[in-house]
Structure 1
Amino acid sequence: MKLLAIYLGAAFAEIAGCYLFWAWLRLGRPAILAVPGLFLLALFAALLTLVPASAAGRVFAAYGGVYIVASLVWMIGIERVPPDRWDLIGTSLCLLGAGLILLGHRA
Structure 2
Amino acid sequence: MITARSLFLFVLAAVAEIGGAWLIWQGWRENRGLWWIAAGVIALGAYGFVATFQPDPNFGRILAAYGGVFVAGSLLWGVLVDGFRPDRWDLIGAGLCLLGFAVIMYAPRAVEG
Partner of 2:91: 88
TM-score (norm. length: structure 1): 0.93
How many Å apart are 1:4 and its aligned residue?
1.2
Distance in 2 separating the partners of 1:75 and 1:61: 22
In the alignment, structure 2 segments of 5+ residues that lack a partner are none
Partner of 1:10: 13
Task: Name the SS for the 1:78 alignment partner.
Answer: helix
Q: Does 1:77 pair with 2:70?
A: no
In the alignment, structure 1 segments of 5+ residues that lack a partner are none
Count of residues paired in the alignment = 107
Q: Does 1:43 pair with 2:46?
A: yes
How many Å apart are 1:72 and its aligned residue?
1.1
The residue type paired with residue 85 of structure 1 is R
How many Å apart are 1:104 and its aligned residue?
2.1
- Over aligned residues, Cα RMSD in angstroms? 1.1
Residue-by-residue CA offset, 1:42-66 (whole Å, 9 max, x unaligned): 1111111101113101000111111
TM-score (norm. length: structure 2): 0.89
Q: Does 1:53 pair with 2:56?
A: yes
The runs of at least 4 consecutive aligned structure 1 residues that moved more than 4 Å come to none
The residue type paired with residue 5 of structure 1 is F
Partner of 1:103: 106
Partner of 2:68: 65
Residue-by-residue CA offset, 1:4-45 (whole Å, 9 max, x unaligned): 111111100101110111112211111221221111111111
How many Å apart are 1:105 and its aligned residue?
2.7
Distance in 1 separating the partners of 2:101 and 2:76: 17
